[in-house]
Amino acid sequence: MDNAALDHDVVIVGAGFGGLGSAIELKRQGLENIAILEREDDLGGTWYVNHYPGLAVDIASVTYSFSFEPNPYWSRLFAPGPELKRYADHVADTYDLRRHMEFGVLVERAEWDDDAHHWTVHTADGRSRTARYLVTATGFLSQPHTPDFEGMDSFAGKILHTTAWEDGYDFTGKRVAVIGTGATAVQLIPEIARTATALTVFQRTPIWVVPKIDFAIPKPVQDLFAAVPLTQKAARLANTAMLEALMVFGVLHFKQAKPGNKLAALLGKAHLRTQVRDAGTRKKLTPSYDFGCKRPTFSNAYFPVFNQPNVTLQTSSITRVEPDGILCEDGRKTEIDTLVLATGFNLWDTNFPAFQIVGREGRDLGAWWREGRFQAYEGVAVPKMPNFLSLNSPYSYSGLSYFTTVEGQMKHIARLFGELRRRGADTFEVTEDANTRYLDRATRALDSSVFYAGDCASSRSYYFNQHGEATLLRPASTLTTLREMDSFPLDDYTYA
Ligand code: NAP
């Protein structure tokens, strides 16, 4: 079937930064008939969905942005969430992507037609459309997790999940519970503690928190970044190098560089000691797993909250939710009128992939990953899934800033589509052999990481899948990742 007979050259699912980056690259490669399907009613992905109080990046903004589209006007070193949404809008406008977007469109299933060499994409509105290529940019942290506590339905007060925030919700005079102590809770809890009459934080697993060196970026510096972009590039380089050292030496090469990891843990412990007065509370807030087993976070405002008289840390397990409170295993009941669920996301059961994808010979991607091993060649391609690129795959997350991941994948797209053009082909598929070699390499490399060489037993980290394998992070430096995405052997794919 020639492309003219298809509805689209490519369907991209998701209008977050992954969707924006892949669309920019595919346009550069000459594809014009692009549909970006987004289940929400606006673009920006996580930065549209999340708008809880205190939301900000926790990777400095000079790094957490596209390298080819710097924003000189970030208001702070760590920009607040709404600035990221505005930046996503700016990128979409600059690269003329809005006209490709369709909002409120939920993709439910896609299947490969091996005779006609195209994907058929089915959406919840009952429509289906054909496309030569399918790109999923559905995010890592996009399927909210709501725990199923006994009695949850009976709760008579207000329940707020951090991904479905009611803007302007006033905590003044409220008795509030926050369940969860991940990066989201760390940002949100200080905001709630400001006004709530009583706040109880229900912690199952403590998180490593290190100091956040944050400040407003003075106007003259913003002007300098705008007038001499090289200065912002230098700031990006310095910050990225620091994050990279943390990732490579603290996490990926734990076995070889244990002191680096221990130093980071010492920094976290020193931060806690200087910020929390009560020794018992400090003990409860100290992780019993190695630094890096689960994503650490940066905050100066989180720990001091536990010195406040209106804040209680509850570490006993939740037995059940009652109409007016939460009962814990220690027999204590906490009476509340507002229940905040900062309980994160489900990656491995519902998000890999985010909808059913059926490739050649009936390979169902979700079933194949779950019944076998989670795997994806270079974190983007899967055998028996022709013309399919999955941006949020096992082993795809590179470095600490998501933009490193996306920009690496853009390089992969450029190399792959360049080869398609050179050959006059329109179909690609990664070989089983190349995929297996990549999986073996990633598995071996991870042996040195904190995930396997360290103590992660008590971490409950989403870096691990349901089989206990740490299959989220790409075990390579960002420089290596970017180089490999630009130079993978072209015959790792077949072309037709
Ligand atoms: P998360 O890290 O998965 O944390 C979820 C929290 O909920 C954990 O403390 C978890 O406890 C708890 N929880 C879940 N189910 C529970 C249950 N049944 N009973 C008791 N506790 C339960 O999710 P998140 O905080 O939303 O953060 C997710 C990721 O988003 C972060 O790691 C980060 O990558 C990203 N993020 C980034 C920023 C930023 O500034 N850029 C801000 C926020 C989030 P356990 O640990 O015991 O499971």
Each residue of 147-196: pLDDT tens digit?
Answer: 999 999 999 999 999 999 999 999 999 999 999 999 999 999 999 999 99
**344 C-alpha to ligand 1 centroid (Å):** 4
Residue 171, number of CB atoms within 10 A of its CB: 19
Q: Which helix (H) or strand (E) holds 407?
A: helix 402-423
Would you put residue 124 in left (φ > 0), alpha (ψ -120 to 50) or beta? alpha
Task: Determine whether the shortest distance from the Cβ of 141 to ligand 1 is under 6 A.
Answer: yes
Contact yes or no for 56/81 (Cβ under 8 A): yes
Ligand 1 pocket check for 458: Cβ under 6 Å: no
Residue with CA closest to ligand 1 atom 35 = 183
Nearest CA to ligand 1 atom 17: 147
CA dist 357 and 429 (Å) reads: 15
CB 450 within 8 A of CB 293: yes
How close is the Cα of 125 to the center of ligand 1, in Å?
32
List, run by run, the mean pLDDT of 10-residue segments along the chain (496 residues).
83 98 98 97 98 94 96 96 98 98 98 97 98 98 96 97 97 98 98 98 98 95 97 95 88 90 94 98 98 94 98 98 98 98 95 97 97 96 98 92 96 98 98 98 95 96 95 94 97 98
Q: CB of 76 within 8 A of CB of 27? A: no
pTM for the whole thing? Answer: 0.96
Which domains are present in the chain? Answer: 3-142+347-495 (3.50.50.60), 152-207+269-289+299-341 (3.50.50.60)
Ligand 1 atom closest to 185 (CA): 25
Quote the pLDDT of residue 1: 52
